[in-house]
Structure 1
């Protein structure tokens, strides 16, 4: 979450075919560059960059802004995600919103792993120094284990 709210406009350079997200405020002050290859995501960021310039009172380089034109806070992002989850009826077994920055980060790592991306690359994209940290985000489900075992040759 802190990486997201720390992003400045210049940290997401875009072109018609490419884009990147430059994370300057990662854990331990490490930085990394994450490719932004999805055209729809690049278009959405480009549109937001255009719109944010018209907000009154914007006096910050922050990419994501609060209602007053200042940098969006961690708490505000959590509240926005909870509202989106409630609106979309994405709730846990107790009826509470089941969407958070942590859930989205976990989903990112899990989807990459399930798509066949090696854990070293996933760790780099997530900004993890230790593979064990990444492994916690990418634990296999029972279905994953069954699919893996299904690849074994049989004597049939």
Structure 2
């Protein structure tokens, strides 16, 4: 059974995105290259754990992070799990492997004040790119959609009359996301400028470049980083931080965790709970200031 069979399984049966499948394939190829170069093995299908352990040591010695090593191992483990599932091997050599320890990533959301400065005080150019950029920031903050979901939004995804939007998430799972009135206004302004574009090559997609092509990931990242560098000193300024900010601000205002889960398109509450630490910090402040025992005598 080849790696290609595994990637086909991920694409066709698991509905993983091409980007995710390419990452799996790249990680597995890294192990294949190691076995070919160091051990002259023709196949990785029947290796023992000690060989994988040597690869892990080699990876660590190159200086890459434990988080990156764990990702590679997770890809390889999934491959062996697939081989075991189809009967090509009897034992998954990584079945008892324990992930390397990693430090928790601290992602600090933007404050409400920073969001107000961006959307209410910061001047945007009164043209196609200005209206597009402001709508992108507004949409990421008020809906919590992923960057990839925003890029792939189609013109028939949005119903301004119903104030709703269809979002195609991970594994082709579709969800309906409500739109706020200010977001509707920004959509209408952007669509007016969009109609004036010449030579549109990807008309089915909502967000385009000035040349009429479908917008791309690095441009979205540059838009967010560029505007937020004007109002925030935070080290990390990315589209994902806006998704983090969306969830945190909702939870801080008392939103139900299950509701936030549905809005984010998470398949389990465990994924949503990573956003709760900031709301808990806010609750601690309220608790300390409101409870009689919290006040200093």
Question: Which runs of no fewer than 5 residues in structure 1 stay unpaired?
Answer: none
Does structure 1 residue 65 correspond to structure 2 residue 208? yes
Q: Displacement of 1:114 after TM fit? A: 1.2
Tell which deviates more after alignment, 119-128 or 63-72. 63-72
Q: Aligned partners of 2:258, 2:291: CA distance in 1, in Å?
A: 24
Does structure 1 residue 21 correspond to structure 2 residue 160? no
CA contact (8 A) 1:106 1:138 kept: no
Q: Aligned partners of 1:148, 1:135: CA distance in 2, in Å?
A: 20
User: How big is the alpha-carbon RMSD for the aligned residues of Structure 1 and Structure 2?
Assistant: 1.9
Cα 1:51–1:126, aligned 2, differ >3 Å: closer, same or farther?
Answer: same
2:284 maps to which of 145, 148, 151: 145
Q: Aligned partners of 1:27, 1:82: CA distance in 2, in Å?
A: 24
Q: How does 1:94-109 map to 2 (within 5 A)?
A: 96=235, 98-109=236-247
Deviation by residue 1:115-137 (Cα, 9 ceiling, x = unmatched): 11110000000000110111102
Q: Secondary structure at the match of 1:23?
A: strand
Q: Displacement of 1:99 after TM fit? A: 2.2
Considering only CA atoms, is the larger Rg found in Structure 1 or Structure 2?
Answer: 2
1:128 corresponds in structure 2 to: 266
Does structure 1 residue 12 correspond to structure 2 residue 12? no
Please identify which structure carries the higher helix content. 2
Q: Aligned partners of 1:100, 1:2: CA distance in 2, in Å?
A: 13
Deviation by residue 1:104-153 (Cα, 9 ceiling, x = unmatched): 00010011111111100000000001101111022235342232466668
CA contact (8 A) 1:9 1:49 kept: no
1:53 maps to which of 190, 195, 199: 195
Q: Secondary structure at the match of 2:205?
A: coil
2:148 corresponds in structure 1 to: 2
1:118 corresponds in structure 2 to: 256
Question: Which runs of no fewer than 5 residues in structure 2 stay unpaired?
Answer: 1-146
1:85 maps to which of 206, 221, 228: 228
